[in-house]
Amino acid sequence: MTDRTVGFIGGGRVTRILLGGFQRAGALPRRIVVSDTDAVVLDDLRGRFPGIETVGADVSAPAGAGLVFGALHPPDLGPALPEIRRHLRPESIFISLAPKLTLAALAAGLAGFARVVRLIPNAASILCAGFNPISLSPAVAGEERAGLLRWFAALGDAPEVPEEELEAYAILTAMGPTYFWYQFQELAEVGCSFGLRREAVEQALPRMLEGAVRTYFSSGLTPDQVMDLIPVKPLEAAEGQVREVYRTKLAALHEKLKS
Ligand SMILES: NC(=O)c1ccc[n+]([C@@H]2O[C@H](COP(=O)([O-])OP(=O)(O)OC[C@H]3O[C@@H](n4cnc5c(N)ncnc54)[C@H](OP(=O)(O)O)[C@@H]3O)[C@@H](O)[C@H]2O)c1
């Protein structure tokens, strides 16, 4: 795949994540063209990846690439599809990174162009430690399909999943880090405020978190048995509220993405 020209329509966060991961893996395509309506976003991206070409808001160059990423939010992607279609080549593959728009909706928006793929990236792809579920239309087959999956495997796990599950993964694995990262930050700051050196905190917390994950998912104990291992829970008073927020907010978001 690295010998193909790759176009990104949208040069924001997810594009930065994917390029960062491919760069780290030594799997950056030779030619990368990025469009975005925001010149500041493009300048920032070029600062990080000096080898890329940026082309302002004009989608013609990225949409004319071999692999064309739709890195836009769902409300922007749908309206952008007809203009993208004008520049797609018969051998192009269009890869949407957005939830909500199905493979069928993408193909319809692209006036019947069937070589479409959906990938829901996870931010840890920037470290090649992502979990990036993917669904491909049957029109992307054989060695081309295998090559695409191998390329995405450079960013971490890229399991093929039923398309109707992608919105659930968007909430679990794409947005999932946001449920925890601010808590890591708060805990690190609290640790430093207790007089621990930052390096000590940054050694201790990842080990604690990795161990907590392994104990929860891999110890063979039930969730209740795991949570009963520690009798003192200083944040227990907030737990009910947090559980309620998970159930209501995430269920509502899932509903919205599936509607
Ligand atoms: N970030 C993640 O971790 C992640 C993970 C999985 C999936 N995704 C998906 O990836 C998509 C993009 O997300 P993001 O995080 O990269 O968002 P983002 O950082 O906001 O980037 C989107 C960029 O697209 C620009 N844009 C809007 N309309 C455009 C158009 N017609 N042509 C070219 N550029 C246009 C936006 O400019 P303005 O700000 O000026 O509108 C913005 O710079 C979304 O569908 C999101 O759900 C993101």
From CA 122, how far away is CA 129, in angstroms rounded?
9
Ligand 1 atom nearest to 123, measured from its CA: 3
* Nearest protein Cα to ligand 1, atom 6: 121
**179-227: pLDDT as tens digits:** 999 999 999 999 999 999 999 999 999 999 999 999 999 999 999 999 9
151-161 average pLDDT score: 98
Residue closest via CA to ligand 1's atom 34 equals 36
pLDDT digits (tens, 9 = 90+) for 32-76: 999 999 999 999 999 999 999 999 999 999 999 999 999 999 999
Is 3's pLDDT higher than 90? no
pLDDT at 185 (0 to 100): 98
* Whether 167 contacts 257, CB under 8 Å: yes
Residues 6 or more apart from 10 whose CB is under 8 A from it?
A: 35, 36, 69, 70, 71, 72, 76
pLDDT of residue 122: 98
pLDDT at residue 4, rounded to an integer: 82
In this predicted model, what pLDDT tens digit does every residue of 94-131 receive, in sequence order?
Answer: 999 999 999 999 999 999 999 999 999 999 999 999 99
Using a 6 Å CB cutoff, which residues line ligand 1? 9-10, 12-15, 17, 35-38, 41, 57, 71-74, 76, 80, 97-99, 120-121, 123, 174
Average pLDDT over residues 244-259: 96
Residue with tokens 């520690």: 230
In terms of DSSP bridges, do strands 156-157 and 130-131 run parallel, antiparallel, or are they unpaired?
parallel
Residue 2 has pLDDT above 80, yes or no: no
Sheet with 134-136, strands from edge to edge, namely 53-54, 31-35, 5-9, 67-70, 93-96, 116-119, 134-136
* H-type alpha helices, the chain: 13-25, 39-48, 60-63, 74-87, 103-109, 142-153, 166-169, 176-193, 198-218, 223-227, 239-245, 251-258
pLDDT of residue 1 exceeding 80: no
- The residue-averaged pLDDT of 149-175 equals 98
